[in-house]
Structures are given as C-alpha cells and as structure tokens.
Amino acid sequence: MSGLNRKWTVVICLLAAFSLLTSTCTKKKEAYKVGAIFAITGPASWLGEPERNTVQMIVEQVNAEGGINGHLLELIIEDTVGDETKTVNAVNKLIEKDNVLAIVGPSRSGTTMAVIPIVEKAKVPLISCAAAETIVEPVEQRHWVFKTPQKDSDAVIRIFEHIKSKGMSKVAIITGTTGFGDAGRKQLKKYAAEMGIAIVADETYGPGDTDMTPQLMKIKATDAQALINWSIVPAQAIVPKNMRQLGMTIPLYQSHGFGNIKYAEAAGEAGEGIIFPAGRLLAVDSLPDDHPQKAVLARYKKDYEEKFKEPVSTFGGHAYDALWLVIDALKAVGPDRAKIRDHIENRKGFIGTGGIFNFSPEDHNGLTKDAFEMLTVKSCKFTLLSE
Amino acid sequence: MGGSGILQLIFSGITIGSIYGLVAVGFDIIYNCTGIINFAQGEFVMLGGMIMISLVGAADLPMWISFPIAVFAVTLIGALFERLCIHPLKKPSILTLIIITIAASILFKGGAMFAWGKQTFSLPHFSSERPISIFGATILPQTVWILGFIAVVVLLLAFFFKATMVGKAMRACAANRSAASLVGVNVKEIVLLSFALSAAIGAVAGIIIAPIALMDYERGMILGLKGFSAAVLGGLGNPVGAVVAGFLIGIVEALCAGLLSSHYKDAVALIVLLAVLFIRPSGLFGSLEASRLKKF
C-alpha cells in the first residue's frame, strides 16, 4: 500500500512542478505557436529526421536570441510516420488543440496532398517540404499552401538542356519503381517530347535489386548517347558500378535524388563524373563567395554539422527554408494566420537554401530552374560542373 | 542480342539468384527442425552485412578477421533469439511461433536503425573490382567469391546432415519430433542449434553480398521475401532445392529484364513461382508425400 502511495505522491509532485513551469512561462509575452509535421520515423525517415533536427536547431537559435519581437517561438512537432491517416490526425490536432499559426511540412508529397483540404478549410498556412508540383497547382485551389523544394520538372529541364548543349539527342532512361522514380519517369517522357530528345530505352529497377546488368545490356544495345538514372533508393549507386562492369562509356546523368554523398561513396570509382542537378547546398564549398546564397548555405551547413555530427542534406534545407519563411512573416505581421499567408505570397527575394524565392499569387513555390545547379562527382566529392 | 549477351544475362541471374538461394537455405534449416518459417531470416542477412561493415570500416580490422567475428556475432544473436523468444514457450502453436519471428524481425530492424542510422553502407570488394571477361561477357570477381562461398556452405551442410551425429539428429527431428525425442534426441537443443546455424548462414550471405548489393537497415525484408520465394519454389525444407530454385528465379528475372522488359521482371518471377506451385504444390524438389504430412 505504501508503495502505491509513494507512486501517487511522485505523480502529484510532478504535476505540480509541471503546472508551475507552464504558469511561469505564460507570464512572459505569449509564445508564437507553429506546428511541424515530418516523417520522423517510418520508411521516409531519412527525409523527416534531418527536417526535425533542422527546425529544432532553428527554434533554439531564435529563442536564444530573444525570440520573435520578444515572443518566444514554440514549435509543436508531430511524427507522421510517412502515413496519410496519421498526418491528417496530426494536422487536425495542431489546428484544433494547439491552435497553431502556421504549419511546416509534411515531408512527403502523398501526405501533403492528404492534408491540403484540411488546411484550406481551416485557413491555416501550410509550407510543405515535399516536391510534387500538384502540391501548389492549381494555385487557385491552393490558397493556403506553399512549398519550398525545387520542382522535379526543372531538374528534368536542366538535364535535357545540358544534354542538348553537348550536341546529343538520344537518351536512355532507367528509373526506380518507387514514387519518386515513377514521377520522374513521367516528367522525363513529357519533356523529352517537348524538347526534341528521343528516349531510345526505358527501363526500371526495384528498390531491393542488386544487379542492373540486364537492363543496362538492353540499353547498351541501343544507340543511346547518354543515360539518365532517376531514383531515390540506395540501389541507384549500383547502376554506375554495373555500367563500368559492362564497359559502357556514355555519360551518366542522375536526378537530384543522388544528392547524398553516401551514394557517391557507395559508387566509388565508378561514380566519378556523374552529372546531376541539385540545390547549391551540396556544393557550397565550390560556390563563389559573392553568390547571394553563399552566406545562408555556409551558415546552415556549419551549424547543422557541428550540432548533429552528420552531413547536411537538401531535405533538412527544405525545412530550414519553410520555417524561416514563417518566422520572417511573424516578424513582419505578427500572429495572424491570414496576414502570414499574404506576407509569404508576396515575399520576393527571400534567400533560402533551395534558391532565391520569389512568391506571387500565381506561384506558391517561388523557384525557377535556376535554383538547380549542375553538379558532378570529383574525387568522391560534389562540385559545380564547370561547363 | 548475341550469345555473349545471353551469357551476360545468365551471369547476372546467377549473381542475383545466388543471394536468393543462400537466404532460402536459412529458411529451410529452421523449417526442418521446427516446422516454422522464420521471418527474421532476412534480418540475419542484414545484421551480418552491417556488423561486417562496422568491423571493417569503423574498427579498421582486416577482412579475414572481421568475417568470422561478424558470423559469430550474428550466430549468437540467432541463438539468443531462440533462447529468449522461442524456447520459453511451453506449448507453442505454429502460428504463435511465426508471429514471434515477425515481431523479432521488426525488432532487429528497429535496433539496426538505432545502431547504424538510416544510411546506406558499402563494403570493399574481397579482391579486385576489375571485371573478368569470359566469352565476351563480364563477371565481377566478387560474384566468383559468392559462388565459391555458396559451394562451400552447401557442401558443408550436406556433410553435416549426412555424416555427423548432430546433423542426423536434426534430420530425425525434421522427420518426426516425438520419435526423435523418444530415441534420446534433445529436441529443444536441436531447435537452438537450427536457429544458430541459420543465423550463421544468413550472416555469411549478408557479408558476401554487401560489396555488390550495399547494405542498409531495411535491406533484410526485401532479401527475405525473395529468399522465401526461392525456398518455396525449391520445396520447403530442401536446401539443395533452395539453391537451385534461387538460381532459377534469378536467371528468369535477368532474362526477362534483358530480353522482354524490366517493368515486368518481378511479376514474371512471381508468375513462374505460382505456375510451379500450381502444378507441383510441394515445390520443384519437395516430395509430395512428405508435404502431405506437414502442417503447411
């Protein structure tokens, strides 16, 4: 019996301490509440984890410097597990229970699409960290929705432009069978037709595949002048290795899904010379000092890598841009959902990690194809492609 | 596509298939002794590869020392798993045991995610990475290593089951557990041994494929699934059948990807599996009579 009593005493003490803690907090200026929903665990955790780390880091920095106009920033982070139902629940909770001013995330395109009707109805600004273009289009039905990642189609256009500048017109494509690979395959086919490029071979591979020589054998037998490998799964690093095994010498282009130095390391020597479009975060060291993004990128990279002892990823960068957009709006207009939305929609020249954002009522992404830079792999490092 | 093209596809199929086969052998050993499918088999493969990568990469040990340590570590994990999760059950039903192995696979995966993070790791090749040219087709030296290891594992297993007392006891358990225990075989210990042995084989598979297939915490499930198909196709409980079926699935996949279209390769492999099971429910090499006596 006494053990039970002791347990209750502890619980009551904890409750008392907790209420004391919260009441002292409310005596200051009221904190600004912002929601963050990321796929922190589950199959898309490699997206959600750096995003969560990034926003936590920003909140610490902002509050250490005295908050936003004297108001502390309170971030309520929810885990979506990359699942649509859980994301919907999390967003409902953030809006109804926590009464947040804006929401940053989700990490994936599918989960973002699932919550768009909710935020549109509740009139809460949402800044997604997912890539699909349908997130912000058609824009008249996306009044409250914005996104920070660059467009897939711009990556495709940059690759095709580079291929054409080399005087090539016939390409082979090999794509992963996941959502990212499949969306890329559709974009590649669509823009190839528009830009006068012939796709002479179209192959796919699964995320668990260990050998792509059969697909590459087929491609080798065509007159393709270049190969585009569009995938986000680790298996993409096997393609350059198999190409080398088969003695294929045509240039290899990869998607922005290659933007993880681990993949270049996994490809080893075979990965040298791969060309791919990516945000400038990955090649910040080789960026000229007078580039307008250099300061933002260098600071984020340094802060993140010192704090978490792991390399920055572009995904964390998307969350960085999204949260700073909200903070920027809060500074300017204060805690009003409609004013925050209007401020973001009219924001021009916002320098983020993904590019320089110029939002408008017609464009809720604010980035052009110039947000991508063509990078290459040199001595197992990402560097800007010189020509 | 000429003759050398076909040969290249067959080499590719052998590379893929050998991995399926080795995973399938692990399934068979536990199935033989307990009558259950160990859905954590793929995780043993993943753990073997990951521990090896840590030993070689982080601890900077040479390959030939890391190899036995990694295999031993996974063997221990397999044995502990049996002692802690399977052994304590008094009268387990087959279904309970299978659900336990599913739970264990989730646990192993989660543990690996915490231990190694979500990144993909690579292991250096055992010898040179320069492809060997045979009749105009190329094969990686690592594939030769994989085939060599499979041959050794299969031969050792055959010797173990045919010529040693313990191996014979294991086969006795497989044939009839009550009868085996009546003639003095300690069934519980044999079950422990079967888990340790299949964990060890899984670890070997994970280590030898890591240089070409790369390794991450999620790899186990996919490898386990394909390995399971090979085990079923070869006739559950038949290790030699498992290896042959693994090669068969691998070669069918490779030929489909190379000659028809890679979009359908997984589907074609599954159709072949279904077709075989439709005609021969006991698998390619399973005995129909024996399969009637088993629970599934």
Q: Which CATH number fits domain B3-293: 1.10.3470, 3.30.70, 1.20.272, 2.60.40?
A: 1.10.3470
More confident residue, A54 or B271: A54
Which distant-in-sequence residues (6+ apart) come within 8 Å of B70 by Cβ? Answer: B48, B51, B52, B55, B203, B207
**Does the distance separating the beta carbons of B222 and A210 come in below 8 Å?**
no
**Does the distance separating the beta carbons of A268 and B129 come in below 8 Å?**
yes
* pLDDT tens, residue by residue, B87-142: 888 777 888 888 999 999 999 999 998 899 878 888 888 888 888 888 888 888 99
List for chain A the helix, strand, coil content (%; round to 5). 50, 20, 30
Of the pLDDT bands very low, low, confident and very high (cuts 50, 70, 90), residue A73 is very high
What gap in Å lies between CA A98 and CA A76, rounded to an integer? Answer: 8
Residues constituting chain A: 387
The predicted structure's pLDDT at residue A360? 94
List for chain B the helix, strand, coil content (%; round to 5). 75, 5, 20
* Residues B146 and B209 sit within 8 Å (Cβ to Cβ): yes
The predicted structure's pLDDT at residue A267? 86
Chain A residues with CB under 8 Å of a chain B CB are: 43, 45-46, 49, 174, 203-211, 213-215, 217-218, 221, 234-235, 237-238, 241, 244-247, 262-263, 265-266, 268-269, 310
More confident residue, B128 or A8: B128
Sign of the CA dihedral with B43 first, then B46, B51, and B54 last: negative
User: Could you tell me the CA-to-CA distances from A100 to A3, A127, A169, A206, A338 in Å, in that order?
Assistant: 41, 13, 51, 40, 13
The predicted structure's pLDDT at residue A357? 95
The predicted structure's pLDDT at residue B36? 84
pLDDT mean over A355-374: 92
Which distant-in-sequence residues (6+ apart) come within 8 Å of A346 by Cβ? Answer: A359, A360
Fill in the amino acid letter for B286: G
Q: Are residues A92 and A42 in the same domain?
A: yes
Fill in the amino acid letter for B239: P
Which of B129, B223, B255 is opposite residue A208, by nearest beta carbon?
B223
Give the residue ranges of DSSP H helices in A65-205: 84-96, 109-122, 152-165, 179-195
pLDDT at residue A387 is higher than 70 = no
Tokens of A190: 């669509």
**Does the distance separating the beta carbons of B118 and A49 come in below 8 Å?**
yes
pLDDT mean over A170-195: 90
**Is A133 within the bounds of a domain?**
yes
Q: B42 φ, ψ to 5°?
A: -60, -35
pLDDT mean over A14-38: 70
Of the pLDDT bands very low, low, confident and very high (cuts 50, 70, 90), residue A6 is low
The predicted structure's pLDDT at residue B218? 85
- For chain B, the distance separating the N- and C-terminal CA atoms, rounded to the nearest angstrom, is 43
CB atoms within 10 A of CB A206: 18
More confident residue, B95 or A8: B95
What gap in Å lies between CA B161 and CA B3, rounded to an integer? Answer: 40
Q: Parse chain B into domains and list their residue ranges.
A: 3-293
How high does pLDDT run on average in chain B? 87
- The domain that contains A60 carries what CATH number? 3.40.50.2300
Q: Are residues A144 and A120 in the same domain?
A: yes
The predicted structure's pLDDT at residue B56? 93
pLDDT mean over A62-85: 92
pLDDT at residue A7 is higher than 90 = no
pLDDT at residue B208 is higher than 50 = yes
* pLDDT tens, residue by residue, A18-27: 555 554 544 5
The predicted structure's pLDDT at residue A26? 47
* pLDDT tens, residue by residue, B151-187: 999 889 888 888 999 988 888 887 788 888 898 888 8
- Cβ within 8 Å of A, B 181-210: 209
**Does the distance separating the beta carbons of B209 and A204 come in below 8 Å?**
no
Q: Per mean pLDDT, which range of A211-215, A239-243, B32-36, B159-163 is the poorest?
A: B32-36
Of the pLDDT bands very low, low, confident and very high (cuts 50, 70, 90), residue A1 is very low
What gap in Å lies between CA B78 and CA B84, rounded to an integer? Answer: 10
Q: A169 φ, ψ to 5°?
A: -140, -5
Q: Are residues A189 and A124 in the same domain?
A: no
pLDDT mean over A262-270: 85
* Residues A230 and A277 sit within 8 Å (Cβ to Cβ): no
Question: Would strands A226-230 and A252-254 be described as parallel, antiparallel, or unpaired?
Answer: parallel
**Is A102 within the bounds of a domain?**
yes
**Does the distance separating the beta carbons of A207 and B222 come in below 8 Å?**
yes
pLDDT at residue B250 is higher than 50 = yes
pLDDT mean over A282-288: 87
* Interchain CB contact of B18 with A (< 8 Å): no
Residues of A in contact with B209 (CB under 8 A): 210
Q: Are residues A259 and A315 in the same domain?
A: no
The predicted structure's pLDDT at residue B121? 86
Give me the residues paired with residue A36 across strands: A77, A104
Q: Are residues A129 and A38 in the same domain?
A: yes
Tokens of A120: 């549109």
What gap in Å lies between CA B203 and CA B209, rounded to an integer? Answer: 10
The residue segments making up the domain with residue A308 are 32-150+297-369
Reduce the DSSP state of residue A101 to 3 states and report it. Answer: coil
pLDDT at residue A37 is higher than 50 = yes
Give me the residues paired with residue A228 across strands: A173, A253
Residues of A in contact with B226 (CB under 8 A): 208
**How far B203 CA lies from chain A's nearest CA (Å)?**
17
DSSP assignment, residue A371?
Answer: G
Most A CBs within 10 A among B10, B11, B12, B266, hence the mutation to make, goes to B12
Reduce the DSSP state of residue B119 to 3 states and report it. Answer: coil
- The domain boundary, picked from A278, A309, A336, lies at A278
pLDDT at residue B263 is higher than 70 = yes
**Does the distance separating the beta carbons of A45 and B5 come in below 8 Å?**
no
Q: Are residues A157 and A269 in the same domain?
A: yes
The predicted structure's pLDDT at residue B239? 83
Render A161-175 in DSSP notation, one character per residue.
HHHHHTT--EEEEEE
Domain count, chain A: 2
Which of B118, B138, B263 is opposite residue A246, by nearest beta carbon?
B138
Residues of A in contact with B142 (CB under 8 A): none
**Does the distance separating the beta carbons of B214 and A237 come in below 8 Å?**
yes
Residues of B in contact with A268 (CB under 8 A): 122, 129
**Is A284 within the bounds of a domain?**
no
pLDDT mean over A63-84: 92
* pLDDT tens, residue by residue, B50-70: 999 999 988 888 989 999 999
What is the percentage of chain A residues whose pLDDT exceeds 90? 62
Of the pLDDT bands very low, low, confident and very high (cuts 50, 70, 90), residue A317 is very high
How high does pLDDT run on average in chain A? 89
CB pairs under 8 A between A and B: 98
